Chains A and B, each alone.
Chain A
Amino acid sequence: MRAGDESAFAGLVARHDAALRFGARSFVRSEAVAEEVVQDTWLAVIRGLDAFEGRSSLRTWIFRILANRARTRAEREARTVPFSSLAEEAAREGPTVDGSHFDADGGWAQPPSRLDTDPEDRLLSAELRARLVDAVRALPEAQRAVIALRDLAGLPSDDVCELLGLSAGNQRVLLHRARTRVRAQLAPIVAGGAA
């Protein structure tokens, strides 16, 4: 790619552009600014490829550029609450599964409903997969940022902690809340209201 292999670069864009746009929305409030930040990021990637030293993965390097650019923009756009404070708030929010789903001993009052999965690849069914992105989009911003970077973009947890300025514990709190909420959104409404 450094030597000008355009198809390699096109492949890189195809692979990461959407996840970058998703990530950018976690840092800046408007869709339009997010688009600009992503485009700026790609231009910086093109110019900076020589400086990429392979100490992190290429993916993490690109997301780091995104985070830096977005942060500069976000300062101007007054995004002032750090992710770490949002995580601490989330940690104080009480249980992720409402107490009404459990009996007095803390066991399931009735068996929880199951998400529909494909028995072969154990992925969610196509119908549920089609609703996943909207479910992630609907999350509170810190949860959305963590699940987008971890599960959509596939970044390792250490890198996500660094990018968002989170401790490992806080990152897990947000990831757990995010996945739990996504599950609740996808779970079929079962009579009796099982979790």
Chain B
Amino acid sequence: MRLRLRRRRRPDPLACREFVELVTDYLEGALTPEDRARMDAHLAGCEGCTGYLEDIRAIARSLPAVELPPADPATHATLLAAFRDVRGR
């Protein structure tokens, strides 16, 4: 009983080495509430891991905004022609 009370007040501390492996689980909301709390507690006191998490977040956020090369114009025209053939009014 005493152990449980103590745990609740102060969860097992998390080392940076463990933190970096849990970053995606954290961002995906896949952690248990206890592990999430350990991550949050660690973040509050660790600038290195806060930065690491922000880097991973920036990558996840930037990829959807990245410019991908467009289809070549000939392929594009072929597709539109096919669309017209099948769906044209």
Contact = CB atoms under 8 A, between A and B. Distances in A.
A: interface residue count bin = 35 or more
A154 B64 contact: yes
The residue among B17, B59, B79 with the most chain A CB atoms within 10 A of its own CB is B59
A111 B58 contact: no
Given A168-B30, A172-B30, A129 B82 contact: no
Interface in A1-42: 1-4, 6, 9-10, 13-14, 17-19, 21-22, 35, 39, 42
B5 interface: no
B37 interface: no
B59 A4 contact: no
A190 B75 CA distance: 44
A63 B72 CA distance: 20
A39 B70 CA distance: 13
Contacts, number: 150
B: interface residue count bin = 35 or more
Interface in A91-142: 95-97, 99, 102, 105-108, 111-112, 114-115, 117, 122-124, 128-129, 132-133, 136
Interface stretch (A65-73, A75-83, A178-186): A178-186
A176 B23 contact: yes
Interface string B52-89: 10111111111111111111000110111011101111
A9 B28 contact: no
A22 B67 CA distance: 13
Interface of A: 1-4, 6, 9-10, 13-14, 17-19, 21-22, 35, 39, 42-43, 46-47, 49, 95-97, 99, 102, 105-108, 111-112, 114-115, 117, 122-124, 128-129, 132-133, 136, 147, 151-152, 154, 157, 168-169, 172, 175-176, 179-180, 182-183, 186-187, 195
Interface of B: 15-18, 20-21, 23-25, 28, 30, 47-49, 51-52, 54-71, 75-76, 78-80, 82-84, 86-89
